């Protein structure tokens, strides 16, 4: 259970601080600020729970690890459930924080939810959103699989993964708000409801396909020891 609790905690922190930065201070922080909020969340959690669960805190990462043969079926399911619960708890807490301020109702903040079409900052449509999420997730998960393949990288893996999440957010925020993580999208979408919930499937399918593609690419690229 320690692994699952660690994944719940890590995803909670990622969602609360990443989506919180977007919802509460997105206009002030800008794309770079929000991107670093997500990236630094990964860095901090990697050094807190990395030795316990591997710090996936993302179902797409867990899928890539599972397809690479590095986790059991049971752990894959347990991780995904824990990650979604962590994101949901964070979204409810973030909504409560927003409701305690004078910035207006939660719906006006967006709660860090992802979106396309009218809910994309630059009007990216459905097909583009799917493609973007697939590509960005593939790059991110491929980095995770690569940097964690050798124990020699243990001391810097968290930093590399966090910076990679930052740079995919820099491109993705104007397009979809950047998911690359079905759990991180699930929490805010469920709390927001409406269009965020209706569009959620894109931010589940896209990252899962991207994570699976990354695992297939890594199997081809990996040097056999």
pTM tops 0.85? yes
User: Cα separation of 222 and 34, whole Å?
Assistant: 33
Q: Domain containing 70: what range?
A: 2-221
The answer to whether the beta carbons of residues 1 and 32 sit under 8 Å apart is: no
For 93-160, give the DSSP string: HHHHHHHTSSS--HHHHGGG----GGGSTT---HHHHHHHHHHHHHHHHHHHHHHTSSGGGTTTHHHH
Q: Each residue of 53-109: pLDDT tens digit? A: 999 999 999 999 999 999 999 999 999 999 999 999 999 999 999 999 988 789 889
Q: Each residue of 150-195: pLDDT tens digit? A: 888 888 999 999 999 999 999 999 999 999 999 999 999 999 999 9
The answer to whether the beta carbons of residues 37 and 29 sit under 8 Å apart is: yes
Give me the CATH number covering residue 76.
1.20.1080.10
User: Domain total for the chain?
Assistant: 1
Residue 162, number of CB atoms within 10 A of its CB: 20
């Amino acid at each position: 259970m320690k692994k699952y609790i660690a994944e719940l905690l890590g995803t909670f922190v990622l969602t609360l601080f990443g989506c919180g930065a977007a919802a509460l201070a997105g206009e002030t922080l800008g794309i770079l600020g929000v991107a670093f909020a997500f990236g630094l969340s990964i860095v901090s959690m990697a050094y807190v729970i990395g030795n316990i669960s591997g710090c996936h805190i993302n179902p797409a990462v867990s899928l890539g690890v599972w397809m690479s043969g590095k986790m059991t079926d049971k752990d894959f399911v347990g991780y995904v459930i824990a990650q979604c619960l962590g994101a949901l708890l964070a979204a409810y807490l973030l909504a409560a924080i927003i409701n305690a301020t004078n910035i207006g109702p939660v719906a006006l903040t967006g709660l860090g939810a992802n979106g396309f079409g009218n809910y994309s900052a630059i009007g990216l449509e459905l097909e583009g959103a799917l493609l973007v999420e697939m590509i960005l997730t593939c790059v991110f998960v491929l980095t995770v699989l690569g940097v964690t393949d050798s124990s020699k990288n243990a001391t810097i893996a968290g930093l590399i993964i966090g910076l990679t999440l930052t740079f995919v957010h820099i491109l993705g925020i104007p397009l979809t708000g950047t998911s690359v993580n079905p759990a991180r999208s699930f929490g805010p979408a469920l709390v927001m409801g409406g269009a965020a919930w209706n569009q959620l499937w894109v931010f589940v399918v896209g990252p899962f396909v991207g994570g699976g593609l990354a695992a297939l690419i890594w199997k081809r690229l990996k040097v056999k020891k």
